[in-house]
Amino acid sequence: MLQLQPQNLLVQKTFGEAVEAFRDGNPLTLDRIVSDFDSTTLHISNAEGNKGLLYLSIRTRAWSSVQRCGSSGGLEEFLEAKYKTQPGVSVASTVESGYDYTLEVDLNVLQPESVVQLSLIKTLVLSYPFQLAFDEFAQLSNTPDSQSQTLHTVQYRDDENLFIKPANDRITAIFETAFQDETDKVFGKVFLQEFVDARKRNRAIQSAPQVLFSHEPPLEIQAHLQANRTLDSSRRFVTFVLFPRHFQTPELQFSTISQLTLFRNYFHYHIKCSKAYMHSRMRFRVDSFIKVLNRAKLDDEDDEDEEQVSHTRRTITGRKVVY
Partner 1 sequence: MSYMNNPAVVMDNGTGLTKLGFAGNDSPSWVFPTAIATAQPSNAKQTSSNAVSAGASSVANTGQSSGSGRQYFGNSTSATAFNSLSSGSALMSNNLAGKRGTEDLDFYIGNEALIAAQGPSYGLSYPIRHGQVENWDHMERFWENSIFKYLRTEPEDHCFLLTEPPLNPPENREQVAEIFFESFNCAGLYIAVQAVLALAASWTSSKVIDRSLTGTVIDSGDGVTHVIPVAEGYVIGSAIKNIPIAGRDITLFIQQLLRERGEEDTSLRTAERIKQEYCYVCPDIVKEFNKFDRDSEKFAQFVVESQEKTRRKVVDVGCERFMAPEIFFNPEIASSDFLTPLPTIVDHTIQACPIDVRKGLYNNIVLSGGSTMFKDFGRRLQRDLKSIVNNRIVQSEYLSGTKSTGVDVQVISHRKQRNAVWFGGSLLAQTAEFKSYCHTKKDYEEIGPEIVRNFSLFNMV
Q: Give the residues lining the site for partner 1 (CB under 8 A).
A: 1-2, 4-5, 8-10, 13-14, 31-39, 41, 61, 157-158, 180-181, 183-184, 265, 268-269, 272-273, 275-277, 279-281, 283-285, 288-289, 292, 295-296
Q: Walk across the sheet containing 236-242 and list its strands.
A: 152-157, 160-166, 171-177, 236-242, 210-214
Beta bridge partners of 35: 41
From the CB of 206, what's the least distance to partner 1, in Å? 21
- For the chain, the straight-line distance linking the first and the last C-alpha, in angstroms and rounded, comes to 48
CB of 155 or CB of 253, closer to partner 1: 155
Minimum distance between the CB of residue 1 and partner 1, rounded to whole angstroms? 6
Q: Closer to partner 1 at the Cβ: 33 or 138? A: 33
Tell the smallest beta-carbon distance from residue 195 to partner 1 (Å).
15
- Which residue, 109 or 273, is less far from partner 1 as judged by CB? 273
Return the closest-CA partner of residue 256 out of 264, 245, 266, 267.
245
Our CB check for partner 1 shows the closer of 141 and 274 to be: 274
What is the smallest separation between the CB atom of 119 and partner 1, expressed in angstroms? 10
Q: Among residues 138, 139, 107, which one has the least CA distance to residue 15? A: 107
Whichever of 71 and 288 has its CB closer to partner 1, that residue is 288
Q: How far is the CB of 188 from partner 1 (least distance, A)?
A: 12
CA distance 9 to 1: 14
Q: Which is nearer to partner 1, 49 or 98 (CB)?
A: 98
State phi, psi for 88 to the nearest 5 degrees: 90, -10
Q: How far is the CB of 107 from partner 1 (least distance, A)?
A: 19
Of 283 and 320, nearer to partner 1 (C-beta) is 283
Based on CB atoms, which residue is closest to partner 1, 45 or 148?
45
In the complex, least distance from residue 181 CB atom to partner 1, rounded to whole angstroms: 5
CB of 272: closest distance to partner 1 in angstroms?
6
Q: Which is nearer to partner 1, 14 or 239 (CB)?
A: 14
Shortest spacing between CB 146 and partner 1, in angstroms: 39
- CA atoms of 206 and 135, how far apart (whole Å): 26
**Residues β-bridged to residue 32:** 44
- What is the amino acid identity at position 118? L
How distant, in Å, are the alpha carbons of 71, 149, 203 from that of 211?
30, 22, 15
Rg (CA), the chain: 28
